[in-house]
Structure 1
Amino acid sequence: MTDLAIETTGLTRSFGSLVAVDGISLRVAKGQLYGFLGLNGAGKTTTIRMLTTLLPPTKGSAKLWGYDVASEPLAVRQLIGLVSDETSESQSDWTAREYLTYFARIRGIANAPEVGERCLTSVGLAEAFRGKLIGTYSTGMKRRVEIARALLGNPKVLFLDEPTRGLDLPAKRVTWKLLQDLAARESVTTFLSSHDAQEIRTLCTQISVIATGKVVFTGNTKDLGSDLDTFEDSLIDLLTLRG
């Protein structure tokens, strides 16, 4: 059994003549909180789509817990939870309870209503709102519902693309602690894409930075600076690199 939660080798995705992701290689250990940063259009969302089986690679390979995303997609999907813009349109005419119960049943989870309640509790959605329509929620509350959905089935790897966007600071801190606890208690791996430098520095021990489809930095988060200002300056230099 591999010690890696995520392993890519020369992972590439092209759209016609455009190379959106250009031969990236990543190694993410099980139980790690891993940051993946890039400007809009740099290739990070395309990378996440390949790692979560939503988009086949053009070249190269990617494995999750040893399962190949191209040849063993069903096994990969059983291991993951995903929060992204593509999953953020919660059913506005459902309640949070209905929404979580529905997806729990799709995944074949026993005691679906009870499991849904536990996930909603873990993300801090107040009980008073769980029976109300999601369409009446604030942006931050909708995001909590999506994070709760991603936690269904006890995923081994969480892919979170801007998971705390729209959340106020107390709600962000609840989410950060949840991710840290999942890593410490259950060795859940988190692959986190975020524009929030403080979030990345708080949560992630290692990061990779992608610019124009290529990984331009992989290493310890602290290597980019001992304080937030220095970290942000180093990050900006890397994010704006051009191949």
Structure 2
Amino acid sequence: AQIRRGIIHFASRDAMNIDGLGESIISLLLNENIINDISDLYKIRKEDVINLERMGEKSATNLINAISKSKENDLWRLINGLGIKFIGIKGAKILANSYKDLDKIMNVTANELINLEEFGETMANSVVEFFKEDKNIKVVNKLKEYGLNTKVIESENGDINKVFEGMKIVLTGTLSTLKRNDAKEMIESRGGKSTSSVSKSTTFVLAGDEAGSKLTKANDLGIKVIDEDTFIELCKLSSKEEVESKLI
């Protein structure tokens, strides 16, 4: 059951985001002994899965393509996917951005990790312990052999402009075109911090439909509130100064 949970987590949207690899398919793959750990996903061939229940030619092709595409994921997704205790999306991103390479993370000491911002002792020890275990090292080595990306992917056009550098931004309500996680990603990749509560130090609030108490609090504190369209426009700007002038 633990292996099954681990593979479900690995394939999930917040980790490797493998489309079509849901819980029921994972259970079938395990029951048929097609896979025994996460690395086995990458040796699956179409003929292995085409005869599984509810799996036709098209689904099998799509699944193999989705698994193959996930090899190109950014490093933080792989780190999150490994299922290291106490390391979620945020911890995975801190590790990826600090070390840029899985090999370096595998050899890091707890003392080095504790010095990372927002990285506590529990998290640090958990990372070190995880990469001490033979079975985990074996799985990671197999993933490398199957050609998974183990480095940070620098964006094509150089770095994304850090237009939200040092800003604290709160999301509230339902956004119409962006998923909440995508909006957070857009904030963080541009140097901002997505925070959960409104305070005097909040730079602005991104409010979608049915925004509740956070919107009220922002208005009470005189914090700037913007809608989704404005947010998307801000993301396209090339400097923090431009963003600040739009927020006045």
TM-score range, shorter chain: under 0.3
Give me the TM-score of the superposition, normalised by structure 1: 0.24
**Structure with a larger share of its residues in helix:** 2
**Structure with a larger share of its residues in strand:** 1
Greater Rg over alpha carbons, structure: 2
